[in-house]
């Protein structure tokens, strides 16, 4: 009896074992398929059509930018370089702004048809068609005319509406006119795409698992890709991405900042690149009626920014854990409009240094009472200021983000030691961004703006009076006028001058607190040669045609 | 019995309707599916207005709920808010993947748990019994996400040490899974770790149920009578004790299976399995009530159906139980 049970148990275990271990017996060390690079990403595109709102994800751009390339693309220095264009576009007239560009003689679609000005015209018409869920029509809606002659295109904007980021606009990936004609654009290229203008073309897709691109042998506008295939594998859990990387299931990834990166840096099998990108973390301050009345007082806002040691926050989050090599790689952000690596960056917010004694002195000068006389780590006295009450502010940000939680803890402790209280109001991203932020019912809101090289030109929307995304309800007429003027100034030097002038005013107002530019990371196995980190939304596949892989 | 079944189904419809309204309200109130679009500094107002109008986002929630009910009944659960993508094909796909995972995990778990439970009961207070008890407690206490990650770390290190891949750490299949037997082996290699992760907790709890149920039965009068009649011990155990001890476990497994079909969220996220759980998490994060409601309807129906199956099975297996 006993023997039978033992035998049954053993048999069961053996059955289970054979099902599990069996494959291992025949498994052998894997050699990646020749010429295939596997990229791991934590988000899958829902559609392959990156022109529409559903496709407005970095994941879509990452997968599709080698397939549908632009007239120009952003390189790793965030500079536009011609790809389908035979040179940089030229300004024919400043007012009304008129520019011209030409597609290369050998630029053609994967089906053999030439890429011509008609494709750009089709792109313009499709974008302007109100029936399609196009993500952004900014710049396009102010175009007065598009004239086409073969491969040459001339675009004229309306008088007084010169679009500042015109070069990025005309560089947009052209749509194939012969493919989009008569189609429901919202449904086009949802799961597959049968046309390409870049060094790769779509091969196959297994939804929920992977997307495969193959070399486009018909590509002649530039060097042909060296790889046979690029495979995107979708793994939503970041720890799992690192495990897949270690086990060789993926070879390239762009992870969010994670402590595992520190270990990967020490591993000779991998190369880790890091650098600032166009994501900047900041704390907005609410000026509207639903915000704390104290925040409408300039001296209190000035006290707030001086009470947070932004350098220390940056160091605690990224430098000390070893995520970035040194503080030089991640300077404290002293501008909302330009990034430290940009040519026109000026440290306008550098006038506010961390000084706890200054905070106390400023608040006392303003007539506030009840707070500490000197900064102390265990302080529990909170200031009360005339006409505005206790300096206790709701601090809103997304939940489930370790780095944000740590930032809050550091800022809370620093401010508490000088008598200012921060009360956490964390919530899921969908809720805080969808409901709380637009409602204005918050005091301090910390989040990341995701922008690009052209973001500075459209700062009016964020900081101008009545701007679409000015959720702070901040309004300084002088600054707003400068921002609006900059939006329609095509000359980059003139535009930068206006923007920096506006920001000097904004810095005095302390309408927001810039924290740091979030670093981007690119990790690749050393068997893969060629990937270079790109700080823009172009993505790490911007130079995929130069990549090679060894067994 | 038929009256009982019909009555249960009617109650279930009322429960489903109430649950659907509550969930729809909560999801609609707590998140805005257009939030990610509105956060873009250059987002087109025309697009935002078009989607708002098309998906009735400017209507009161009860009105939106009724639109959803209409779509659910006449348009196969409707389409997503952003992109107007049909929901049913995605749901069918992820359901298939979850079924593979859950069926395999439950089947193996039941086989192993029954064997452990019976042997533990027959050899109560033996070394094996203590070991099995310890394993059960550890298994029940271990967080699923931790176990999943540890299994990944273990097999990654085996690969690094011996240059032989036994199992994969992510996704349902390889880059080139092939066909036929090659596809099957590839799928097993990818599902092995998630199945193991799910199995541990199931084995831990099922083996305890089986053990206590078996202990109760082997000390009962009719089993003593069977022994007294001179029947071989093996026959007494298998024919008389084991079958009756299995009854509670059958109902528990049926209940558990129904809820697992909603997707093992944590396991699917850790192992990047394109299943019901991950689908639910992604759609909830997107704040889109339509796919979340579709998931809810399918999952709730599964739970209700398997609850019913569990009750019916109990009545069938135990002649003392009657429904009317």
User: Are B32 and A38 a contacting pair at CB < 8 A?
Assistant: no
Structure tokens at B232: 């071989």
pLDDT at position A98, please? 96
In the block, tokens 């549908």 appear at A68
pLDDT at position B233, please? 84
Q: CA-nearest residue of chain A to B26?
A: A431
d(CA A546, CA A40): 19
- Residue A217, CA distances (Å) to A108, A149, A230 in order: 11, 28, 14
pLDDT at position A26, please? 46
Which of these ranges, A14-28, B111-125, B227-241, has the smallest mean pLDDT?
Answer: A14-28
A-chain residues within 8 Å CB-CB of B111?
A: 12, 16
Q: Bridge-partner residues for B54, per DSSP?
A: none
pLDDT tier for residue B9 given thresholds of 50, 70 and 90? confident
pLDDT at A24 over 70: no
pLDDT at position B323, please? 62
A-chain residues within 8 Å CB-CB of B172?
A: 208-209
- Is pLDDT larger for residue B222 or for residue A215? A215
Quick: pLDDT tens for B164-184.
889 999 999 999 999 999 999
Contacts of A21 (CB under 8 A, 6+ apart): B166
Select from A42, A172, A237, A427 the residue whose CB has the most chain B CBs within 10 Å, as the one to mutate to test that interface: A237
d(CA A233, CA B145): 21
Quick: pLDDT tens for B302-311.
888 888 888 8
Quick: pLDDT tens for B205-236.
999 999 999 999 888 888 888 888 888 888 88
Quick: pLDDT tens for A401-451.
888 899 999 999 999 999 999 999 998 877 888 789 989 999 999 998 877
User: Are A428 and B33 a contacting pair at CB < 8 A?
Assistant: no
3-state secondary structure of A148: strand
d(CA A83, CA A463): 34
pLDDT at position A325, please? 77
Quick: pLDDT tens for A268-311.
999 999 988 888 899 999 999 999 999 999 999 999 999 999 99
pLDDT at position A30, please? 44
pLDDT tier for residue B32 given thresholds of 50, 70 and 90? confident
The per-residue DSSP string of A366-378 comes to TT-BSS-SS--TT
User: Are B156 and A247 a contacting pair at CB < 8 A?
Assistant: yes
Q: Supply φ then ψ for residue A229, to 5 degrees.
A: -145, 155
pLDDT at B250 over 60: yes
Q: Are B264 and B277 in contact (CB under 8 A)?
A: yes
In this complex, the residue of A210, A430, A461 whose CB is nearest that of residue B35 is: A430
d(CA B71, CA A220): 48
Quick: pLDDT tens for B56-94.
999 999 999 999 999 998 988 999 988 889 999 999 999
Q: CA-nearest residue of chain B to A398?
A: B285
In the block, tokens 């533990």 appear at B120
d(CA A156, CA A93): 9
User: Are A237 and B40 a contacting pair at CB < 8 A?
Assistant: no
pLDDT tier for residue A27 given thresholds of 50, 70 and 90? very low
Distance separating the N- and C-terminal Cα atoms of chain A? 56
Interface A–B counts its CB contacts (< 8 A) at: 226
In the block, tokens 């707030």 appear at A304
Please state, rounded to an integer, the average pLDDT across all residues of chain A: 91
pLDDT at A17 over 70: no
Residue B45: name the closest of A430, A138, A484, A470 by CA: A138
Quick: pLDDT tens for A220-263.
999 999 999 999 999 998 889 999 999 999 999 999 888 889 99
B-chain residues within 8 Å CB-CB of A208?
A: 93-94, 97, 172, 274, 278
B227: exposed, middle or buried (Cβ count in 10 Å: 0-12, 13-18, 19+): middle
pLDDT at position B42, please? 73
Select from A20, A264, A427, A450 the residue whose CB has the most chain B CBs within 10 Å, as the one to mutate to test that interface: A20
pLDDT at position A167, please? 93
User: Are A136 and B42 a contacting pair at CB < 8 A?
Assistant: yes
d(CA A289, CA A473): 9
Residue A488: name the closest of A157, A168, A125 by CA: A157
Quick: pLDDT tens for A357-412.
999 999 999 999 999 999 999 999 999 999 999 999 999 999 888 888 999 999 99
d(CA A544, CA B189): 30
Tell me how close the Cα of A393 comes to any Cα of chain B, in angstroms.
23
Give the HSE-up count for residue B118: Cα atoms under 13 Å, Cβ half-sphere: 23
In this complex, the residue of A6, A239, A431 whose CB is nearest that of residue B149 is: A239
pTM for the model stands at 0.87
B-chain residues within 8 Å CB-CB of A186?
A: 83-84
pLDDT at position A31, please? 41
Give the HSE-up count for residue B165: Cα atoms under 13 Å, Cβ half-sphere: 23
User: Are B165 and A206 a contacting pair at CB < 8 A?
Assistant: no
Burial B281-302 (b: 16+ CB within 10 A, else e): bbbbebbbbbbbbbbbbbbbeb
Beta strands, E only, A20-85: 36-41, 72-74, 80-82
Name the percent of chain A lying above pLDDT 70. Answer: 94
Residue B217: name the closest of B177, B238, B244, B178 by CA: B244
In this complex, the residue of B35, B42, B93 whose CB is nearest that of residue A458 is: B42
In this complex, the residue of A1, A52, A236 whose CB is nearest that of residue B237 is: A1
Which run of H or of E encompasses B252?
helix B243-260
Quick: pLDDT tens for B37-52.
777 667 788 888 899 9
pLDDT at position A204, please? 96
- Is pLDDT larger for residue A421 or for residue B316? A421
pLDDT at position B8, please? 82
User: Are A210 and B119 a contacting pair at CB < 8 A?
Assistant: no
Q: CA-nearest residue of chain B to A191?
A: B85
Q: Bridge-partner residues for A39, per DSSP?
A: A232, A252
pLDDT tier for residue A148 given thresholds of 50, 70 and 90? very high
Helix axes B2-30, B61-74, angle to 10 degrees: 130
pLDDT at position B230, please? 86
């Amino acid at each position: 009896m006993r023997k039978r049970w033992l035998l049954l148990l053993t048999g069961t275990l053996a059955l289970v074992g054979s099902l599990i271990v069996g494959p291992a017996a025949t498994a052998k060390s894997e050699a990646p398929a020749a010429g295939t690079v596997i990229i791991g990403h934590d988000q899958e595109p829902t559609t392959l059509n990156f022109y529409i709102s559903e496709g407005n994800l970095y994941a879509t751009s990452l997968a599709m930018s080698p397939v549908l390339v632009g007239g120009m693309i952003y390189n790793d220095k965030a500079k536009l370089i011609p790809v389908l264009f035979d040179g940089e576009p030229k300004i024919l007239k400043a007012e009304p702004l008129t520019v011209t560009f030409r597609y290369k003689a050998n630029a053609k679609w994967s089906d053999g048809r030439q890429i011509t000005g008609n494709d750009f015209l089709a792109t313009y018409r499709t974008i302007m068609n109100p029936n399609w869920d196009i993500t952004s029509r900014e710049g396009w809606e102010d175009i007065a005319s598009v004239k086409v002659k073969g491969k040459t295109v001339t675009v004229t904007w309306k008088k007084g509406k010169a679009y500042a980021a015109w070069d990025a606009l005309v560089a947009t990936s052209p749509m194939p006119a012969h493919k989009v004609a008569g189609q429901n654009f919202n449904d086009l290229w949802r799961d597959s795409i049968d046309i390409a203008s870049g060094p790769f073309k779509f091969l196959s897709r297994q939804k929920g698992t992977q997307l495969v691109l193959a070399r486009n042998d018909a590509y002649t506008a530039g060097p042909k890709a060296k790889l046979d295939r690029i495979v995107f594998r979708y793994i939503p859990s970041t720890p799992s991405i690192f495990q897949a990387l270690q086990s060789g299931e993926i070879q390239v990834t762009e992870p969010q900042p994670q402590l595992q990166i520190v270990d990967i840096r020490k591993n000779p099998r991998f190369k880790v690149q890091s650098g600032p990108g166009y994501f900047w973390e900041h704390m907005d301050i609410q000026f509207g009626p639903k915000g704390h009345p104290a925040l409408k007082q300039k001296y209190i806002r000035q006290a707030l920014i001086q009470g947070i040691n932004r350098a220390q926050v940056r160091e605690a989050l990224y430098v000390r854990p070893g995520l970035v090599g040194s503080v030089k790689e991640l300077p404290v952000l002293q501008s909302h409009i330009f990034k430290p690596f940009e040519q026109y960056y000026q440290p306008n917010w550098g006038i506010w240094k961390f000084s706890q004694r200054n905070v106390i002195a400023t608040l006392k000068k303003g007539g506030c009472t009840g707070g500490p006389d000197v900064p102390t780590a265990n302080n529990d006295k909170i200031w009360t200021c005339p006409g505005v009450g206790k300096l206790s502010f709701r601090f809103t940000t997304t939940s489930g983000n370790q780095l944000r939680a740590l930032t809050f803890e550091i800022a809370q402790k620093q401010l508490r030691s000088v008598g200012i209280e921060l009360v956490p109001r964390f919530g899921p991203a969908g809720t805080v961004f969808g409901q709380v932020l637009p409602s204005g019912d918050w005091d301090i809101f910390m989040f990341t703006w995701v922008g690009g090289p052209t973001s500075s030109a459209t700062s009016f929307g964020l900081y101008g009076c009545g701007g679409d995304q000015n959720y702070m309800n901040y309004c300084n007429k002088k600054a707003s006028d400068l921002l609006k003027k900059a939006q329609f100034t095509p000359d980059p030097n003139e535009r930068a001058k206006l923007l920096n002038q506006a920001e000097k005013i904004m810095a005095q107002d302390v309408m927001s607190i810039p924290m740091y530019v979030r670093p981007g990371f690119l990790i690749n196995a050393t068997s893969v040669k060629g990937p270079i980190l790109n700080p823009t939304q172009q993505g790490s596949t911007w130079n995929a045609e130069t990549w090679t892989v060894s067994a | 019995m038929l009256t009982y079944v019909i009555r249960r189904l009617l109650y279930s419809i009322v429960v489903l309707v109430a649950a659907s309204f509550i969930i729809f309200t909560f999801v609609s109130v707590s998140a805005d599916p257009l939030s990610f679009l509105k956060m873009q500094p250059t987002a087109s107002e025309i697009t935002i207005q078009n989607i708002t109008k098309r998906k009735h986002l400017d209507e009161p929630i009860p009105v939106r709920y009724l639109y959803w009910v209409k779509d659910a009944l006449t348009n196969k659960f409707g389409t997503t808010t952003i992109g107007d993508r049909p929901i049913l094909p995605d749901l069918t796909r992820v359901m298939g993947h979850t079924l593979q995972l859950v069926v395999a995990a439950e089947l193996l778990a039941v086989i192993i748990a029954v064997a452990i439970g019976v042997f533990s009961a027959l050899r109560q207070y033996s070394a094996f019994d203590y070991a099995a008890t310890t394993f059960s407690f550890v298994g029940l206490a271990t967080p699923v996400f931790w176990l999943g990650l540890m299994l990944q770390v273990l097999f990654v290190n085996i690969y690094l040490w011996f240059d032989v891949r036994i199992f994969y750490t992510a996704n349902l299949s390889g880059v080139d899974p092939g066909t036929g037997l090659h596809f099957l082996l590839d799928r097993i290699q990818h599902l092995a770790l998630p199945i193991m992760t799910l199995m541990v907790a199931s084995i831990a709890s099922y083996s305890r149920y089986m053990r206590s149920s078996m202990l109760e039965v082997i000390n009962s009068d009719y089993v003593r009578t069977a022994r007294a009649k001179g029947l071989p011990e093996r026959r007494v155990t298998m024919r008389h004790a084991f079958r009756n001890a299995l009854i509670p476990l059958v109902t528990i497994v049926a209940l558990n299976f129904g809820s697992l079909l909603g997707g093992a969220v944590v396991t699917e996220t850790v192992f990047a399995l394109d299943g019901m759980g991950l689908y639910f998490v992604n759609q909830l994060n997107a704040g889109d009530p339509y796919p979340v409601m579709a998931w809810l309807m399918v999952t709730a129906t599964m739970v209700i159906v398997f609850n019913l199956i569990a009750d019916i099975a109990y009545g069938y297996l135990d002649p003392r139980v009657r429904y009317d």
